[in-house]
Amino acid sequence: MSFLKSIGARATLLLIMFVVVGCACSSSKVQTDMSYRQKVLRSFYPSLTKITRFFGVKTDVKLPSQKTIPPVSIYEYAFEGIGGDTLKINHYAGKKLVIVNTASDCGYTGQYEELQKLYQQEKDKIVIIGFPANDFKEQEKGSNEAIAAFCKKNYGVDFPLASKSVVVKGSKQHPIFQWLSDPSKNGWNGRDPVWNFSKYIIDEKGNLIGYFDPGVSPLSQEFLNVLNTPQS
């Protein structure tokens, strides 16, 4: 009987998780101020992280089996900033890069707060670049202007944000995410984002050294262990 109760409790928690994560798909636009749903999602985020880790949902981590020099340099790439300016990746050479696809209407949107905290603590050593994307359940419908205002007002984000992009594999995938998810370019990883807030770490020399599913917090020890890998 206790086993059945345990299974029932797990099923209930899993159902709650999928309802909360997926409920944002009906959003018609992103606003500067949080909607009621966004406030609920933000408050639920700590519980969501615990639930996903308990069930092993969206918590995958991929690391290279050995040090790999990418066949194509990430420093050859550039991206359009959310304000329309062109930003070159080679500008950040010598620092670790955290590249993450983001969304304003997702159960993981609360991760903006963790990313900003990490950036504030380590901005002399790392750069975080957020790529807003509407690829998962249409959870980023807003304009670049609305996204920038939302992130700044509600989470204090001051790390670089790109113009809204496509991050999943296909003809419209952003070139940087093509590099991140193509072993013939980055040297080993073929994983493109599985959901909003998938994260990639690139070291000071431009080597991809880790991929992390959305359920892995950027403040978790497993993430920080890779982020703090000594430069070789």
List the CATH number of the domain containing 193.
3.40.30.10
For residue 102, being part of any structural domain is answered with yes
For residue 7, being part of any structural domain is answered with no
Q: Taking each helix axis from N to C terminus, what angle separates 36-55 and 2-22, rounded to the nearest 10 degrees?
A: 140
Residue 36 vs residue 193, higher pLDDT: 193
For residue 33, being part of any structural domain is answered with no
pLDDT at site 34:
82
How far from 225 is each of 6, 13, 16, 201, CA to CA, in Å? 33, 29, 31, 11
Query: Closest Cα to residue 102, out of 129, 78, 74?
Result: 129
**What are 61-117's pLDDT values in tens digits?**
999 999 999 999 999 999 999 999 999 999 999 999 999 999 999 999 999 999 999
Residue % of the chain over a pLDDT of 70: 86
For residue 14, being part of any structural domain is answered with no
For residue 137, being part of any structural domain is answered with yes
Which residues are identified as catalytic?
Answer: 106
The structural domain count of the chain equals 1
Residue 14 vs residue 136, higher pLDDT: 136
Structure tokens at 66: 């050995």
For residue 49, being part of any structural domain is answered with no
- pLDDT interval class at 24 (50, 70, 90): very low
For residue 169, being part of any structural domain is answered with yes
Q: What is the pTM of this model?
A: 0.85
How large is the greatest C-alpha to C-alpha distance in the chain, in angstroms?
A: 61
**What are 27-59's pLDDT values in tens digits?**
334 346 788 788 888 887 888 888 887 788 899
- Amino acid letter, residue 24: A
How is 181-227 classified by DSSP, letter by letter?
Answer: T-HHHHSS--PPPSSTT-EEEE-TTS-EEEEE-TTS-TTSHHHHHHH
